[in-house]
Amino acid sequence: MQNASVAQMFDEIADCLEIAGENPFKIRAYRRAAEAVATFAEPIEDAAENGMLRSIEGLGEATAAKVQEFLATGKVRFLEKLREEYPPTLLELLRVPNLGPKRIAQLYRERGISSIELLKEALDADQLQGIAGFGPKTLSNLKSGLERLAEVSQRLPLSDALRLVGDIQSTLKRCDAIQELEVAGSLRRGADTVGDINLLAQTDDAAAVITFFTQMSLVLSIGECSHEAASVTVRPGVTVRLFCAPQSTFGAALLFATGSAAHLQGVRNRAAALDVELSPSGFKKGTVELAAQSESEVYAALEVPYIVPELREGRGEWEAAFEAVLPTLIETSDLLGDLHSHSTWSDGSVSIRQMALAMRERGYRYFAVTDHSKALAMANGLNAARLREQAIEIALVQQEFPDIKILRGIECDILRDGSLDLDDEILHELDIVVASVHSAFNLEEAAQTERMIKAISHPAVDIVAHPTGRILGGRPGYRVDVSALIEAARETHTALEINSSERLDLDDINARRARDRDVLLAIDSDAHSTRMLPNVALGVLTARRAWCSKRHVLNAKPVDELMAWLQRPQSQA
DNA sequence: GCCGTTTTCGGCCCGACTGTTTTCAGTCG
């Protein structure tokens, strides 16, 4: 499977074309192609082989030909040519806040600035004065942009890591020496971002596995290698490490390869207390070898219940295990609906009917249509009049699909002063109101917190979506006191979202806080197309890392309970 | 570059904010 690599190729083309100042619609077409391939459920090479590329929405004649070329040769001439003019380090500048393609091109042309490093140096040395359009304020904004960028994790977002590991797994499937392959490390624990990708192969012929692994076409460079392990880079900054273990000790090896360091400290403490010797290559008590084929056997030997990877963070799982109070965690199959989705009425790419079909196919009993409100003009946000028009369409689709409840909702912008973008009158007509921030990200923490608490306290608001505004690999959240938001949500019986798109917001830590304060969480897709619906699995991982059970999750409630909850009395914060 | 109950060309994501300007360009959501 090469979906992730193909998608990456289209994104790189789009980046180059942005700096080249190409037609914005052409650039968007490449972005759409990247998204289409990345979210395509099957291996793109299968679609290519069956001549089905053109039937994928977002791929046309030119992009389909580039997919073919990439699959056949491993590169695309068009991109190779672009790279001569726009090196990869230059493209990284696109991630600097307050710096866009036009100014990047200008800095490159006039001062040869071709990387974040060079930009930093030039700024620090005051070498950028005198460039047309670069006044003192702009220069100081660039400096703060670089500071903000440094706050964004350089780690790979979970969704990207999962796609990439999918490509690697399907390649390794062709290696006969591998009997079983498991993802390990922070990716297995469901962390929101991962530094390295760790894999564990069960094999009796580690040498053959390592040779196969290091010769994969995805590999850019080979790092450290030993008899049982090897590491390679498959993308700049992304290391993939493969460990090998025989069947007899696979469980012990998997436990150690999964971590975390804090959890493994607990393992060692427990092993010491029981007087057993434990290492990745098995464990024994005295001279007796204990079974370590599976992780279950290892935990059993440690005389504790099995601890799932998502809980292995050293955040109380050992204490809970000793007391036999480990939580029964939420599963994706527990979700009975989705309370945040978009349609073509605002910036979604599918109709309400198409969305209803896809939601029903997932087995949901309900979903909410929550298009943007009017303040988000770019997204074609809805005013009251259009919301009432939309109600007619929702009613029609509802008639057609009596077995899934369609809630009339809105993702209502929280304005700068904390008021909502729509009048109370129309908000009270709706089944559900999801409120969120899409503007004025730069408020001071106190002001931002006050703004959001005001919205949380609004009687019409049911859920606050992506409460911190972060985008993984994109931007840090705005400055806000999340604990204060959680308290306000608790007092007003407002739910907070775990947004499952590229945000994972709330994150695991804050979701755990909310859960501990009995604030309900909504695990939503924020889907702008039906292809995004499966993303909720990532939100579920985050909820599991937050120790959430079914009862902590709003959209795990049956439809009648949900409807009753939506009628709840709300006190003021 | 993609797409088509607006159909093979001409649309496609708009408006606020900011800083550098003297009438506008760049960035962002």
Question: Nearest nucleotide, C1' to the C-alpha of A107?
Answer: B26
**Which parts of chain A sit beneath pLDDT 50?**
none
What does the pLDDT look like over A498-509, one tens digit per residue?
A: 999 889 999 999
User: Please, which contacts does A350-359 make with residues 24 or more away whose CB atoms are closer than 8 Å?
Assistant: A350/A529, A350/A530, A352/A390, A352/A393, A352/A394, A352/A397, A352/A406, A353/A397, A353/A400, A354/A530, A355/A527, A355/A530, A356/A397, A356/A400, A356/A401, A356/A404, A356/A406, A357/A401, A357/A530, A358/A530, A358/A533, A359/A404, A359/A533
The pLDDT of residue A237 is 82
Phi-psi region of A100 (alpha: psi -120 to 50; beta: other; left: phi over 0): beta
Residue at the smallest CA–C1' distance to nucleotide B14: A378
A98: buried, middle or exposed (CB in 10 Å: 19+, 13-18, 0-12)? middle
Which residues are CB-neighbours of A518 under 8 A, at least 6 positions away? Answer: A490
Question: 3-class DSSP state for residue A432?
Answer: strand
Position A349 scores a pLDDT of 87
Separation between the CA of A12 and the C1’ of B27 (whole angstroms): 20
For the CA of A376 and the C1' of B21, the distance in angstroms is 28
Check whether residue A441 has its CB closer than 7 Å to nucleic acid strand B.
Answer: yes
User: Could you say which residues 354-413 of protein chain A have a Cβ atom less than 7 A away from any atom in strand B?
Assistant: 376-380
Which residue's CA lies closest to nucleotide B24 at its C1' atom?
A133
Which nucleotide has its C1' atom closest to residue A347's CA?
Answer: B13
Give ∠ CA A49-A55-A56 in degrees, rounded to 5. Answer: 90
Nucleotide nearest to A29 (CA to C1'): B1
Nearest residue to A166 via CA among A504, A499, A537? A537
Q: What was the pLDDT predicted at A541?
A: 98
- Which pair of tokens denotes residue A30? 């490449």
The pLDDT, as a whole number, for residue A571 is: 58
The count of other CB atoms within 10 Å of the CB of residue A378 is: 10
- Within 7 Å: CB of A30 and strand B? yes
Q: Which nucleotide is nearest to A59 (CA to C1')?
A: B2
Residue A139 CA to residue A123 CA, distance in Å, equals 7
Residues of A525-538 as b/e, b for ≥16 C-beta within 10 angstroms? bbbbbbbbbbbbbb
Look up residue A32 and give its two tokens.
């759409």
CA pair distance A161, A32, nearest whole angstrom: 20
State which residue has its Cα closest to the C1' atom of B1: A26
